[in-house]
Structure 1
Amino acid sequence: MKRFFLGFALVSLLFAGVLSYFASSDPDGLDHVTEQQGIAEHAREHPLADGVLADYAVGGDDRFTGIAGVIGVLVTLLLAGGLFWLLRKRSGASG
């Protein structure tokens, strides 16, 4: 089971680090529809718009898109792993 999770983590990191550079920089579907319907002109930036990983890049630099993807995968794996570890069914516990 540990080999599966290690393989999953490695493939996820590889995809995030490499395939992120091939992602489209065009607006996504939601952005497209809001622009099409004239709603985008009323939109405001959210508080994290200038954050470290804003726009799927580290510091807003497109050269670091893969690094932002790797950071996102690592944070997700750590949070999910920690949550599973905390909520796991322990042997000897009644349930």
Structure 2
Amino acid sequence: MNKQSKFLIAGFVLSLFLAGVVSNYASSNPDGLEKVAEDIGFLDSAKEHTNADGLLADYGVKGIENERLSTGAAGVIGVIATAGVSTGLFLVLRRKNGASR
């Protein structure tokens, strides 16, 4: 295994750890947009978005009652999905440009 592969694997494992464990220690304060809406006074008139009842809504996994586990699982799913999509795109672009290993 070359250094580049080791680096990518280490980065992926670190991302999984951060998303699955460290994300539980993120601030529970509202994000910037929500804070501004609260300060200006139109937060109460906000409507739920289309995916509000989705599987990964509100930084958690629907159906997992333990909040810490739900948040960690959502983070891990997000990292895996992002890695899968980006790897697929890189492979397609590499083939399109005629690059080979």
Q: CA deviation at 1:90?
A: 2.5
| Deviant stretches of 4+, over 4 Å | none
| Aligned pairs for 1:79-90 within 5 A | 79-88=85-94, 89-90=97-98
User: Which residue of the other structure, out of 68, 72, 75, is the alignment partner of 2:78?
Assistant: 72
Q: CA deviation at 1:3?
A: 1.3
Aligned-residue CA RMSD (Å): 1.6
Q: Which amino acid aligns with 1:44?
A: K
Matching residue of 1:6: 9
* Gap regions ≥5 residues in structure 2: none
1: distance between equivalents of 2:33 and 2:46? 12
1: distance between equivalents of 2:51 and 2:72? 20
Taking structure 2 as the reference length, what is the TM-score of the superposition? 0.82
Q: CA deviation at 1:58?
A: 0.8
> Structure 1 vs Structure 2: percent identity of aligned residues?
48
Matching residue of 1:23: 26
2: distance between equivalents of 1:91 and 1:51? 39
Deviations 1:63-86 (A, max 9, x none): 311111000000001011111111
Secondary structure of the residue aligned to 1:70 is: helix
| Aligned pairs for 1:35-46 within 5 A | 35-46=38-49
Matched, 1:47 2:50: yes
2: distance between equivalents of 1:81 and 1:36? 41
Name the CA shift for 1:24/1:91 in 2 (closer, same or farther; >3 Å). Answer: closer
